Structure 1
């Protein structure tokens, strides 16, 4: 299989705004119509660009298991070749172009790439294993 060099751009649709005990997503005006109906969901999925993360990291010590060194793709570390963060958050309310959400650990100003509704029947995997984070692993 021949490898292709892809040149593409990803543009933010909004930004995380966070402070002491609160988080919200401010959507850019040109994407406002895309929010129609979002308020009918209790939870949403945010895809963010972790702009403060390192992109040259392939091995990390995960937070809950500092005793092991593993590949970045086996962790939730924000430092990775393409630092895309994913959050499942509670949607508290929508006011215009603002989505008030349960607090997240993203920096204020973190670019939001996409928003999707969280749908339990599709997104939940009840029998998913814990991998490296299983108490019996390691």
Structure 2
């Protein structure tokens, strides 16, 4: 397999909400996804208000590029949890620094999408915006590692 590089241009940026990425307490976080008005018109959001949730692809722009770990490591460096390979994590220490988040859409105001519980911080480049379709959710039985359930127990709890 050969390496293939490609360029991705943000369609917008996160405005407001958190200013620092943290591991937990994203519940109730409110922000705006501001779509680039130089390239898009309000027609680009037409019909979006019919959806309750969006799936957002973004770039972890605050990640230290020297802090990558492509092998296995313990989630949150917790010695009680097993070593897990890079593709068994969803954290920001990734080769392409891409994140995916599902958030609640509360309002469409032209090119401003008001959202809740988007776990991206102010200034985050947004690479793509997709409405959430129930039919694209998991099919069949869902399972996950016990450590992930424990680790994420406060992830969407209200901010303290």
TM-score by length of 2: 0.72
Cα 1:119–1:64, aligned 2, differ >3 Å: closer, same or farther?
Answer: farther
C-alpha distance in 1, partners of 2:14/2:79? Answer: 29
Question: Are 2:138 and 1:124 aligned?
Answer: yes
Which residue number corresponds to residue 62 of structure 1?
75
CA positional deviation for 1:91: 0.4
Please report the RMSD computed on the Cα atoms of aligned residues, expressed in angstroms. 2.3
CA positional deviation for 1:71: 1.1
Question: Are 2:31 and 1:23 aligned?
Answer: yes
For these two proteins, the number of residue pairs brought into alignment is: 133
What do the CA deviations read for 1:68-93 (whole angstroms, capped 9, x no partner)? 22212101111110111111111000
8 Å contact from structure 1 (residues 54, 80) kept in 2: no
Question: Looking at both structures, which has the greater relative contact order when contacts are Cα pairs under 8 Å and sequence separation is at least 6?
Answer: 2
8 Å contact from structure 1 (residues 24, 101) kept in 2: yes
Of 9, 12, 15, 2:10 maps to 12
C-alpha distance in 2, partners of 1:94/1:120? Answer: 20
Which residue number corresponds to residue 34 of structure 1?
44
Aligned to 2:119, the other structure's residue is in SS state coil
